[in-house]
């Protein structure tokens, strides 16, 4: 459970109790329902992290786009409001850059969200291979949380942040990676393999 969810739930429960006290006892029921939703939304289940030369999904959700270029491949994962919103590092390594960029709040499933929306981009150097992934805000998601800073070391599948209430995560791989997912496939943060490192391929 993400601590933020507990704070939201306590606030809503208190508001519901006050409303019920000063009006009708049943008037606070909608607030209690919202409090339960917050506890469920901010769930943070443990995951079994795969080992080996693989990259795991940084987010729960659906792969909505795989865009290939000669020098890189971008995999885009859309998170709806019902998905777990805790983000994880795809690989082990050193965080070499964290860049926040303000922007719009377009529907996260649209391709232009990758360039126009508010986002936080994290770059990890995994001992010779560099991966960049972006936490992207959406129409409902208006708050990006990042736990890491440049110089921090992360393990594969380690929790690195959170996007609140619907969002998207884009991850960019170099040519040394072979993509292991397809568009339309659902993935789970930390446990789904989305790419495999191909020995002999140069970054």
Q: Which of the residues are catalytic?
A: 167
Query: Do residues 187 and 195 make contact, with C-beta atoms less than 8 angstroms apart?
Result: no
| Tokens representing residue 36 in the block | 């339960």
Q: How far apart are CA 132 and CA 123, in angstroms?
A: 4
Q: How far apart are CA 149 and CA 152, in angstroms?
A: 6
User: DSSP state, 127?
Assistant: S
Alpha helices in the chain (DSSP H): 3-22, 29-41, 113-116
Q: How far apart are CA 158 and CA 146, in angstroms?
A: 12
Q: How many residues does the chain have?
A: 203
User: DSSP state, 104?
Assistant: B
Q: How far apart are CA 190 and CA 154, in angstroms?
A: 13
């Amino acid at each position: 459970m993400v601590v933020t969810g507990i704070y939201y739930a306590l606030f809503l429960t208190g508001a519901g109790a006050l409303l019920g006290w000063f009006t009708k006892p049943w008037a606070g029921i909608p607030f209690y329902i919202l409090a339960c939703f917050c506890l469920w939304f901010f769930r943070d289940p443990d995951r079994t992290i795969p080992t080996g030369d693989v990259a795991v999904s940084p987010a729960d959700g659906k792969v909505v786009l795989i865009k290939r270029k000669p020098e890189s491949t971008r995999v885009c994962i859309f998170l709806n409001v019902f998905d777990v919103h805790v983000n994880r590092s795809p690989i082990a390594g050193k965080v070499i850059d964290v860049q926040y960029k303000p922007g719009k709040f377009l529907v996260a499933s649209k391709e232009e969200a990758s360039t126009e929306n508010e986002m936080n981009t994290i770059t990890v150097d995994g001992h010779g291979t560099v991966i960049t992934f972006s936490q992207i805000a959406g129409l409902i998601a208006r708050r990006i949380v990042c736990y890491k800073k440049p110089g921090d070391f992360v393990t594969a599948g380690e929790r690195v942040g959170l996007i609140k209430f619907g969002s998207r995560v884009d991850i960019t791989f170099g040519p040394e990676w072979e993509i292991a997912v397809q568009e339309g496939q659902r993935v789970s943060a930390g446990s789904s393999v989305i790419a495999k490192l191909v020995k002999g391929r140069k970054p």
